Chains A and B, each alone.
Chain A
């Protein structure tokens, strides 16, 4: 397994007929141009604008962007609100990662086993991934509701009245509650890729271990897991990318970042700085910092987990 990488036209051998091969080159420009223009205008230009604006004191009205050097970066790192949001983002990533990983691994594995109703279970497990984040956020907001939400009604019903907390209204529970909703939706991707990865492992390897007398648990831990490592590290990187830029869940579930900004994350703060206080310089330096952080963390994860991948 390799992460996405590119070899230009590697598999295509040049055609023998040089006249045709030559006339084929006339396709290059017209075929590439539409994708190139749209992609450049709407993916690369925004990136360049963001990074360049982070060195300016842009106030959002017009394109007057006075150069400001690195001062925005100094300002955001002295801003307790930003540091708090950054801390929350990291907590969200770690807590959500812990929530998404074990259940997905279990369900992804179970779905490759010889069980009944497999198609049904798989459908239910992956369906959340097909829903809009807004739908998932609203659904969980209903579930957590202290007045009519089923979670608290259920807790009161079974006598755990003390546990019936206002989940999205308590500074201690808001962030984990949002992380759980996100983990539930993201687990769809994890389950899908884990079970696809497990299917790719040739069955005879596990069979051989079993014949040698290894228990199911041992086979899983010592044979399957190492072979699955390529998929797991890909998912870890995906989770870093997804969780560090969490926005919609927080924005929909708790307006204004929750009680005492207990769920304020970097993206929601960035959004406020841009649209409420018109501090584009500050907002873009937060965005640039997060971009670099995501990039560096992904590379580090990729690098630190690389050697353990077993080719098969």
Chain B
């Protein structure tokens, strides 16, 4: 079976399975590791089916008395996980889409059009890899807050979703330009020449010939961006209000409340609501995710 990781296909000759004691150790360790992860999630699921009094009075290992999904409904509506869910979908898809679009345009120019500042700009976009936004973003927040308190009409742009989405888009630019540039560079020059001879404008060549050829790159970069924005916590913590949170942030505030109210069971349900969609997407798109994540790191 050909195993594909990244861009390399390795055809492996399979020797017939034979019993070796080392093999057994491998199986035992892998199974223990997997089973404990599965058990942890099964436990979370079990608790999410219990009512609060039932959870507080029975052993943590006891099976729920009956299948009740009220906690999921509670979490979705009363704890507002439903609206956080929509916010997260919005933030992750807008952030990833815009980031891919602006990065694809920039990557095309950097990868294919020789001009004077080409190398300099390529490196400029790469610097972002070395700047963790988490360490640099706090003064930006205070700057924007002071601009907005002096100019009330600018507030919607300075506070909340505006700067957060800007940061989300910018955070993807180094990875996206780096990966997409590689894709554009690998396209043959002949395609462009043929389009030029047929009289296509440079923009049309890009839009109708070159861009469709890098769809795989666009898709896997989108996936990586979407996943990391879906899970993003710190920037949301700084820029969003409690009422308007994304899923990770909403979960955090819900967990804070649970410390005082002991309403743990709907929190467990909320954890599952947040995680299960991602686990399903990951199961369906495993290959694309692997490709996307290894592309950025293992090049050359």
Residue pair A42, B163 in contact (C-beta under 8 Å): yes
Interface-side segment among A76-84, A107-115, A161-169: A107-115
A25 to B275, CA, bound (A): 46
Residue pair A35, B177 in contact (C-beta under 8 Å): yes
A195 to B6, CA, bound (A): 11
State which of B138, B170, B294, B297 has its C-beta within 8 Å of the C-beta of A287.
B138
Q: Given contacts A138-B267, A193-B298, is CB(A27)–CB(B109) below 8 Å?
A: yes
Residue pair A139, B139 in contact (C-beta under 8 Å): no
Residue pair A131, B278 in contact (C-beta under 8 Å): yes
Interface-side segment among A67-75, A87-95, A170-178, A245-253: A245-253
Residue pair B105, A34 in contact (C-beta under 8 Å): yes
Considering only residues 9-26 of chain A, those with a C-beta below 8 Å from chain B are 9-17, 20, 23-26
Closest beta carbon of chain A to B81's beta carbon, Å = 12
A residues near B274, Cβ cutoff 8 Å: 132, 135
The reply on B251 being an interface residue by CB < 8 A is yes
Contact digits for B74-113, partner A, Cβ 8 Å, 1 yes 0 no: 0000000000000000000000000001110110111111
The reply on A127 being an interface residue by CB < 8 A is yes
B residues near A113, Cβ cutoff 8 Å: 26
The reply on A66 being an interface residue by CB < 8 A is no
Closest beta carbon of chain B to A290's beta carbon, Å = 6
State which of A36, A135, A203 has its C-beta within 8 Å of the C-beta of B13.
A203
A124 to B34, CA, bound (A): 6
B residues near A267, Cβ cutoff 8 Å: 134-135
Q: How many residue pairs bridge A and B at CB < 8 Å?
A: 309
Most buried by B among A13, A58, A135: A135
Residue pair A15, B282 in contact (C-beta under 8 Å): no
Residue pair A6, B122 in contact (C-beta under 8 Å): yes
B residues near A149, Cβ cutoff 8 Å: 60
Residue pair B248, A39 in contact (C-beta under 8 Å): no
Interface size on B, residues (CB 8 A): 124
Contact digits for B105-135, partner A, Cβ 8 Å, 1 yes 0 no: 1101111111100111111011111111111
The reply on A189 being an interface residue by CB < 8 A is yes
A12 to B130, CA, bound (A): 27
The reply on A224 being an interface residue by CB < 8 A is no
Q: Given contacts A35-B106, A291-B136, is CB(A9)–CB(B112) below 8 Å?
A: yes
State which of A125, A148, A245 has its C-beta within 8 Å of the C-beta of B55.
A148
The reply on B73 being an interface residue by CB < 8 A is no
A residues near B240, Cβ cutoff 8 Å: none
Residue pair A46, B231 in contact (C-beta under 8 Å): no
Residue pair A114, B106 in contact (C-beta under 8 Å): no
B residues near A247, Cβ cutoff 8 Å: 134, 234
A287 to B37, CA, bound (A): 35
Secondary structure type dominating chain B contacts? helix
The chain A residue sitting closest to B163, CB to CB, is A42
The chain B residue sitting closest to A193, CB to CB, is B297
Considering only residues 120-168 of chain A, those with a C-beta below 8 Å from chain B are 120-128, 130-135, 138-139, 141-143, 148-150, 153
Most buried by B among A150, A234, A238: A150
State which of B135, B178, B283 has its C-beta within 8 Å of the C-beta of A4.
B178
The reply on A214 being an interface residue by CB < 8 A is no
Q: Given contacts A32-B105, A193-B298, is CB(A17)–CB(B197) below 8 Å?
A: yes
The reply on B10 being an interface residue by CB < 8 A is yes
A residues near B248, Cβ cutoff 8 Å: 132-135
Residue pair B138, A32 in contact (C-beta under 8 Å): no
Residue pair A132, B8 in contact (C-beta under 8 Å): no
Q: Given contacts A50-B138, A291-B131, is CB(A123)–CB(B115) below 8 Å?
A: no
Residue pair A16, B193 in contact (C-beta under 8 Å): yes
Most buried by B among A195, A199, A252, A270: A199
27 A-B pairs with CB atoms under 8 Å apart are A1-B300, A8-B120, A16-B193, A27-B202, A34-B106, A42-B133, A42-B166, A46-B140, A49-B139, A62-B146, A62-B149, A110-B26, A110-B29, A114-B17, A130-B282, A131-B231, A131-B275, A132-B247, A134-B248, A134-B251, A141-B255, A148-B60, A148-B264, A150-B60, A248-B233, A287-B138, A294-B132
Residues of B near any A CB (own CB < 8 A): 3, 5-6, 8, 10, 12-15, 17, 22-23, 26-27, 29-30, 33-34, 37-40, 43-44, 47, 55, 59-61, 101-103, 105-106, 108-115, 118-123, 125-140, 142-143, 146, 149-150, 163, 166-167, 169-171, 173-174, 177-178, 185-186, 189, 192-193, 196-197, 201-203, 206, 227, 230-234, 247-249, 251-252, 255-256, 259, 264, 267-268, 271, 274-275, 278-279, 282-283, 286, 289-290, 293-294, 296-300
Q: Which 5 A-B pairs have the closest CB atoms?
A: A8-B119, A42-B170, A132-B231, A35-B106, A20-B196
Q: A231-B298, A270-B138 are in contact. List 11 more A-B contacts (CB 8 A).
A: A2-B300, A8-B110, A9-B112, A49-B139, A124-B34, A130-B227, A131-B278, A153-B59, A193-B298, A280-B142, A287-B138
